[in-house]
Amino acid sequence: MVKILYRELHYQMAKENPMVSGEKEFNKQIKKSMDMKRNVLQQSMIFLLFGTMTAGSIFVAEDEAMVVGVLTSLALIPFVLSLYQTTIQASFLTSLGIFEPLKPLPVELGGKYMSGVISVDLIPGFVLVIPAVVAMVFRAPLSGILTLFWMIVAVLAGHVIGLGVFALFGQKVMNYKGSLSFLKNVLKVIGLLLFMGLFFGVMYFQEYFAAYIGTVADYPFVFPVSLASVFEPLNSLILLVFHLVILLPLYFLSLRKVWSGILEPAITSPGKVETDYKISLRTPIVSMILKDLKVIGRKTSMMAGLLFPLYIALPQMFLRVRDGRISMVDMTYLVFLVGIVTVAGADAILKVEGKSMSFLRTLPLSKVQFALGKALSMSIVPMFVGVGMVGLGVYFSVEVIYLLPLVLILPITAAVVTMSYLFRYKGEMIGVPEFDFKKMILLFLIVGVVFGVVALPIIFMGGLLKYILSPLIAIFITSILYLRLKR
């Protein structure tokens, strides 16, 4: 069943891909994209290459403390990828109507099929940590086996939280209008951030507890810090069981909640509300941006994907604020980091369309307007994140204000680079280009190179001039890419 649903998903995606034109090319595309084993193997090989680089750190580590530091940091990667992929794919699968044929059937726990389809895309992220696990097996065999199970827990934890986000925030059909609608969307964003921030809150409480009250046990009890126990097998095994006892019931509870929401979506409405009917004229690009933001406001699980830059920047900023100082170098690094992770927002902003693409093609909307609208939509959240970081950084160092121009332009540059690559096909037909892990990694590298050029004045120059030249370089590159996209 998972294989059938996977093929149906990629068939629907191929139909909306504007880079596939003609029956022969379409048949070739669906034959390639429907091959589940081939797709997983290709993506896994790329992640395996990156994972091999981390394995060397474990081999050369002088003591167990260094190994634990590497493993703890590494475990966050499959966790975050699993969380991100689950929240995006769950909403996308539902919006495409993939599970509609299953509704009349006597399926008791249909959510397991959604979990299965999503889990296929989680395999490459897990493969990334395999080289580190192998290195641990050579270093300490029993600890290596325990590390493998902890990495599985990392994927499971991200998957469970992602399903929880979708079940709690992503399945309600809201019928609110006016200022009440805006308030509900704001509250959903705050609730989502609090839900996702629980992980870091628990880690902070753990550190506070250890520093001021004393530890109850020799090892922390919350993932990923719990990986420190891998060199004490008995303690590690107890902690593993503790995590699984919590995660597995939550997993099956989330599956039931997700499936019941698919069968009978909850509709909430305040009743009869009178609002003024207004017709306003806007440009196609502005209309696209407003439409995307409104749709994502209703699909809170997709909002989790768009908030990915915040989820990356938040812990980094938290660690620096906790130390009571933020240097200009730290803030510059964070500004460029937020700009780079803007690329990940393309997945959510493109999958917003679902089945609405056929309607959009009937509108007077060109490919350039559609691509630029998507680019600006996916850059809004990173810009707000950057402005917030700069505002906080000014409290510690006034010169951080010089980074404000970069905060505003870098996300747009990254977004335009992304859309220029995805919409590089000939013709004016709009659609949803394929955006998988391979393209995401490639775009991370391309944007990284572009940002390297933008950062040259900051690296090699002194004085305030460097903070003027870098944004100008970014604007110049963005303009060139925009003109190229128009052609």
- If the chain, 487 residues long, is cut into consecutive pieces of 10 residues, what is the mean pLDDT of each piece? 75 63 62 74 80 75 74 80 80 73 67 81 85 84 88 89 76 49 49 51 48 44 74 85 89 82 61 54 77 71 67 70 74 88 83 70 80 88 86 83 90 91 79 77 89 89 85 91 79
What is the structure's pLDDT at 429?
76
Helix axes 367-396, 284-298, angle to 10 degrees: 70
What is the structure's pLDDT at 363?
78
Domain ranges of the chain: 35-181+220-269, 280-487
What is the structure's pLDDT at 24?
63
What is the structure's pLDDT at 119?
84
What is the structure's pLDDT at 44?
82
The angle at the Cα of 243, spanning 241 to 244, to the nearest 5 degrees, equals: 65
